[in-house]
Amino acid sequence: MVSVFDVAKYILQKRGKMSTWKLQKLCYYSQAWHMTWTEQRLMKERFEAWANGPVCPILFHAHKGKFMIAPQDLPEGSADNLNLDEKESIDIVLNSYGDKEPYDLRELTHSESPWKDARAGLPEGVSSQNEITLDSMAAYYGSL
């Protein structure tokens, strides 16, 4: 199974330098849609329902302190680790979400059940380490 760093490298190589916010959301959507289409997780790492949307903590710690990120800014990962099916899922996500602004992706994730359910009962802006489960992703995106 590939890592979030493999997916992030692939996204950055395809789309170029972008905000860390946008990268996090594109990785999240890649995980969610790949799970929906294949019934298999794309990457082993989890996503949490942070105040500004889904975040993979291990990726966050790799880019902490940066606003923008380029492929060479990630310490590990390789797009070569992805197979054709995985790349196809990510490419579809990039075609659907890749031109959206980071704030628009934040608002979109905030309107969707997986993030909202993982934050149930938490006031806006409060920190959370609640996991956005694969089951919730598959159930929500599979219903669209």
E strands in the chain: 18-19, 47-50, 53-55, 68-69, 131-132
- What is the residue range of 80's domain? 4-142
Q: Is 128 left (phi over 0), alpha (psi -120 to 50) or beta?
A: beta
The DSSP secondary structure of 12-30, one letter per residue, reads HHHH-SEEHHHHHHHHHHH
Say what percent of the chain tops pLDDT 70. 100
pLDDT (tens digit, 9 = 90+) per residue, 81-105?
A: 999 999 999 999 999 999 999 999 9
Q: Three-class SS of residue 80?
A: helix
Instruction: Return d(Cα 109, Cα 48) in angstroms, integer.
Output: 12
Q: Provide the number of structural domains found in the chain.
A: 1
**Predicted pLDDT of residue 75:** 82
Q: Check pLDDT > 90 for residue 61.
A: yes
**Predicted pLDDT of residue 1:** 87
Q: Check pLDDT > 90 for residue 121.
A: no
Q: What are 107-110's contacts with CB under 8 Å, separation 24+? A: 108/25, 109/25, 109/28, 109/53, 109/54, 110/53
Q: Check pLDDT > 90 for residue 13.
A: yes
Indicate the pLDDT class of residue 21, thresholds 50, 70 and 90.
very high
The pLDDT of 46-50, averaged and rounded, is: 97
**Predicted pLDDT of residue 142:** 95
